Amino acid sequence: MEIVFLYINEYKKLHDISVPLHGQFDVTHDRRTLRIDQVSHPDVYYQHIPMTLILGKNGVGKTSILDCLQEMCSYERCSAWAIFHHQGELYILFCNHPQLDIISNLPVRLIAELPAYLQEHQTTLVTLNNAVDFNSLFFSSNKYPTRGYFEDASLSRYVKGSRARRNEVISRFSAFISTSDWLQKKMPDVDHGFHVRLLQPSAYRLSTIARNHQSENPKWAEGMIQWFYDIYSDYKINANYRAFPFCDPQTVQECASRIDSGQYDSLAEIFSLLTKVDNKANSPERQLWRFIPAYAWGALSELIKDKQIVDDLYPELLISLYFSRDSDVLEQIQSWLKKHARDRYQKLSLRLPTERWEWRVTQKKLLEIIQLVEQTPPLNGDNSAVFYNAEDIVRLGNIIQKIPEYLRDRIDFGWSSISSGEFAQAFLFSQIYHYLRHSSDQALIFLIDEVDLYLHPEWQRLFISELISFIKESAGNRQVQFIFTTHSPIIASDFLPRDIVCLDKHTGGLTFVVENPAFGFGSPLPEYYTGGFFVKYTIGDHAMQWLRHLTDKNSLRGETERSIIGQVTNEFLLRVIKSDKEDKQEKKDKGNKGYKKDRGDTA
């Protein structure tokens, strides 16, 4: 099943707009009569995949045309009619519009309801884009709810959606990059794995606090050293080192040795040693220490309002936690504050921790992440792993989403080898791939809005060619149709002129369809820019304003103007900018330099 033609009588800012959507049909109409003829244009150019491009500047209503097709499912806010083709028959839907007299060389049937028609003919409309519309930043609901006959797979739908919705897009993307033979052949050198690396604890805050305190109070360092030794003494007395889940005996001995011999530049160096985690540490609790400095800082900031007090207490607290016998970190923090902080700060009031600081729940999630990373082949033995299985990636993503954001910063994760442009293209292809593999429908009509978004110009140039090869390899027996919108002349250069619907605006603001646009196959890219349709000038407006100033013979030439003129490399432009007097002076100066060189003088 295919969409042949759309006429919009009235929808949003569109009025009386005819949109041909299939090159194999000629459609003409007036207020009373509609004529439809199937023609014998060869359709091998797109490898038998119907494709139409809706082209125009921003604000002409390209997206509104796609929206109108979706609105026709509900009969509410548009006056329009559409023609569909299926197995040699035409089907026409009149939506809030009087029926026309129909003339055609094919059998014609009328559609009572578009949803029923799409379901009867096993067809799904799928809308796609990489854009995030303004409303999606504030409201999680998508513009058009997903139904059996219509699927909204746009990126904006996932921005503030439920966890299930986010899992859906991650799963589709992961499945595509890990199982698509086409992608592996097209991008064999790109690592498509989902990288996860557990970072070392950050000593930045500790180092800053240590420097600030030592500059203000030289005795502060002595106090911290004494604090370390008091706790270290208790640690040495206890022969069972396993009673201290977070500390590493070798690290403790190294710290004590450096302090005894004075072989350290500042306490920041000692703190860096204490917070470091050996990548080969077997104990899950030792691996948990990667997150505890960040957790302790966040918990202190939550419990104590005064930031200066938080800074004062944090180093001592962290040393205490390092030598702690209790694995419940939040309970240890609260107990330590009651014992050591209240005597020092008489008016100190502790706030109650919120639910998100519950350590036992957080600990469980962190241990799950550590276990997943440990069970997956490492990259460089640095507590990193690469995931290719979609289920593992979704599971890992769910766990990471559940831990507090300040702890999430201690995990480096994502498709780090895929750029934003590659992601933009892969996202579109992954959604298409999903429907080609899993949809039970026989026909899929993809409405792709702003297809050029985030794509480098060279990728725009390759997009249609790669899409065709991808569909030919992946579609099987399904019938597939594409309707794109774009303002990219590079994308337009891949389309036959008959398959381009070019929109523009009258001076009064009404949108109209440009008749016989001089765009498409055979038109070199420079013509798109010099023709005036896409851009008014072929240089930026800021540069244009300066050129007007520089070419004004009445304007004064100061140091700024001369400096800018010195940056111009185009000879013709230089001749236009420079005055006759400047030209003569420059030639005279060059002549003098040449004369001096001929005489052997130093220029």
pLDDT digits over 187-196, tens only? Answer: 777 777 888 8
- One-letter-per-residue 3-state SS of 478-528: CEEEEEEEECCHHHHCCCCHHHEEEEEECCCCCEEECCCCCCCCCCCHHHH
* Closest among 553, 526, 546, 520 to 538, alpha carbons compared: 526
- Distance separating alpha carbons of residues 304 and 321, to the nearest angstrom: 18
pLDDT given for residue 89 in this prediction: 95
pLDDT given for residue 140 in this prediction: 45
Residue 146 CB contacts under 8 Å (≥ 6 apart), including other chains: 152
Residue with tokens 């938080």: 310
CA distances from 508 to 19, 54, 215 (A): 21, 21, 69
Cα 449 to chain centroid distance, Å, stands at 16
Which residue stretches of the chain have pLDDT < 70? 42, 131-148, 156-163, 203-204, 214, 237-244, 264-268, 278-282, 346, 356, 378-382, 527-535, 537, 579-603
Domain boundaries, the chain: 2-191+420-530, 204-358, 541-599
CA dihedral defined by 437, 439, 444, 448, rounded to 10 degrees?
-70
pLDDT given for residue 523 in this prediction: 72
Count other C-beta atoms under 10 Å from residue 250's C-beta.
9
The architecture in CATH of the region 2-191+420-530 reads 3-Layer(aba) Sandwich (3.40)
Residue 23 CB contacts under 8 Å (≥ 6 apart), including other chains: 41, 43, 50, 52, 496, 498, 499
pLDDT given for residue 385 in this prediction: 86
Mean pLDDT (the chain) is 81
Count other C-beta atoms under 10 Å from residue 507's C-beta.
5
- Distance separating alpha carbons of residues 329 and 315, to the nearest angstrom: 15
Q: Is the CA virtual torsion 254, 260, 264, 270 positive or negative?
A: positive
Would you say 126 and 435 are in contact if contact means Cβ atoms under 8 Å apart?
Answer: yes
Q: Is the pTM of this model over 0.85?
A: no
pLDDT digits over 491-550, tens only? Answer: 998 999 899 999 999 888 899 999 887 778 877 777 666 655 566 767 788 888 888 888
- Helices marked H in 280-358 — which ranges? 284-288, 292-303, 307-322, 329-336
* Closest among 366, 373, 351, 350 to 404, alpha carbons compared: 366
DSSP 99: P
